[in-house]
């Protein structure tokens, strides 16, 4: 199947018929119903957000964090990559990595998690996602009660992790550290990650 056909392009006119938003914008349920959406489409304030192709830094950073979190998370927690969180009817962002309560796994057909079941949301910043990952998403995650948030940025091709913890009294994140080379934390569980191992192959 051609890419044009897969994404609904008219092969003669090569025009894509974008879904027309209803009055009031799209809803969280629409992400599961709209045909031919590109992978990893998010919903922010009722608008569809399409993501650009991943860079090698983005892909390798996700792999590093996903593997480390899976290895070190306690049994009552589990880890997924690129699963959406249904914050409310108009917002379903997709963190790059999410740590959630294992007893809240909704099964193989689930497409999103509730914010109260998410322990940690991780966003790896891309050139087109800076404003969302630095401002919009952390504000929304905090308001919904996601207790921990990591923002990961590139410094010469190596990840730098900005760590935040929720102040539940004001429902806002407070910065708790900036980590170069090595990430060492005691919450949400004890974890150590060698950030310089981003390009190292596993034995």
pLDDT-derived band at 6, boundaries 50, 70, 90: very low
77-87 burial string, b = 16+ CB within 10 Å, else e?
A: bbbbbebbbbb
Q: Of 80, 129, 134, which is closest to residue 104 (Cα–Cα)?
A: 80
- The dihedral region occupied by 66, where left means phi > 0, alpha psi between -120 and 50, and beta the remainder, is alpha
DSSP element (H, E) containing 23:
none
pLDDT-derived band at 14, boundaries 50, 70, 90: low
- In angstroms, the CA 141 to CA 143 distance is 6
> What is the structure's pLDDT at 18?
66
Bond preceding residue 188 cis, omega within 30 of 0: yes
pLDDT tens, position by position, 63-116: 999 999 999 999 999 999 999 999 999 999 999 999 999 999 889 999 999 999
Q: Which two tokens stand for residue 79?
A: 């880890």
Domains in the chain: boundaries: 56-199
Contact residues for 29 (Cβ-Cβ < 8 A; gap 6+): none
CATH C-level class of 56-199: alpha beta
Q: Of 42, 61, 62, which is closest to residue 50 (Cα–Cα)?
A: 42
Q: Which two tokens stand for residue 61?
A: 């950073």
DSSP element (H, E) containing 77:
strand 77-81
pLDDT tens, position by position, 141-188: 999 999 999 999 999 999 999 999 999 999 999 999 999 999 999 999
Q: What is the pTM (predicted TM-score) of this model?
A: 0.88
> What is the structure's pLDDT at 21?
80
> What is the structure's pLDDT at 82?
93
- Res. 12: pLDDT tops 70: no
SS3 of 111, please? coil
């Amino acid at each position: 199947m051609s890419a044009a056909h897969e994404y609904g392009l008219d092969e003669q006119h090569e025009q894509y018929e974008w879904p027309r938003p209803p009055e009031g914008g799209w809803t969280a349920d629409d992400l599961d119903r709209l045909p031919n959406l590109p992978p990893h489409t998010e919903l922010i304030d009722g608008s569809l957000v399409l993501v650009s192709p991943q860079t090698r830094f983005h892909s390798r950073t996700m792999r590093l964090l996903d593997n480390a979190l899976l290895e070190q998370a306690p049994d009552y927690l589990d880890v997924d990559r690129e699963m959406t969180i249904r914050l409310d009817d108009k917002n379903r962002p997709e963190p790059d990595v999410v740590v959630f309560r294992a007893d809240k796994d909704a099964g193989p057909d689930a497409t999103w998690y509730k914010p109260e079941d998410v322990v940690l949301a991780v966003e790896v910043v891309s050139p087109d996602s800076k404003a969302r990952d630095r401002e919009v998403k952390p504000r929304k995650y905090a308001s919904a009660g996601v207790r921990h948030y990591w923002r990961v940025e590139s410094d010469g091709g190596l990840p730098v992790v900005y760590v935040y913890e929720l102040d539940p009294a004001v429902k806002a994140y407070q910065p708790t550290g900036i980590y170069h080379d090595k990430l060492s934390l005691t919450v949400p569980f004890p974890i150590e990650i060698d950030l310089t191992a981003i390009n190292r192959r596993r034995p």
